[in-house]
Structure 1
Amino acid sequence: MTDAAKRTPLYDLHVELGGKMVDFAGWEMPVQYPMGIMGEHSHTRAKAGLFDVSHMGQVILRGADAASKLETLVPSALTTLKEGKARYTFFTNDDGGIMDDLIVANAGDHLFVVVNASMRHQDIPHMAKHLDGIEVTEIFDRALIAVQGPAAEHVVGDLCPAAREMSFMQTMEAEIMGVDCRISRLGYTGEDGFEISIPEAKAIAICRAFLAHEDCEPVGLGARDSLRLESGLCLYGNDIDNDTSPVEASLTWAMQKRRREEGGFPGAARIQRELAEGTARKLVGIKPTGRAPARAGVEVQDLDGTVIGTITSGGFGPSVGAPVAMGYVATDFSTPGQKINLIIRGKAQPAEIAALPFVPQNYKR
Structure 2
Amino acid sequence: MKVVFLSHSPDTGTVRVGSHHLAREFARRGHAVFHLSTPLTAAHIGRVAKGDAVTLQRFSLLRRPRRGDAGDLHGVPWQFLPEAVIGRAWITGAGRHRHARRLLAAHGFSAPDVVLVDQPTMAGLALSLPSRALVYRPTDSHFHGVSAQHEALLVAASDAVIATSDTVLNRLPGAGSKPSMTLENGVEYDRFAAPSRAGQGFRYVGAIDDRFDWRTVYRLASALPAAEFRLAGPVTTAVGDPPPNLYYEGPIPYEGVPEFLAGGSVGILPLTDMRINDGRSPMKFYEYLASGLFVLATSSPALTARQAPGVSLFATPEEAVAMATALAAPGFNHEGQRFAKQYDWAARAALLEDFLTSRLQPAKFERP
Greater RCO, CA 8 A, separation 6+: 1
- Structure with greater strand share of residues: 1
TM-score for the superposition, normalised by structure 1: 0.29
- Structure with greater helix share of residues: 2
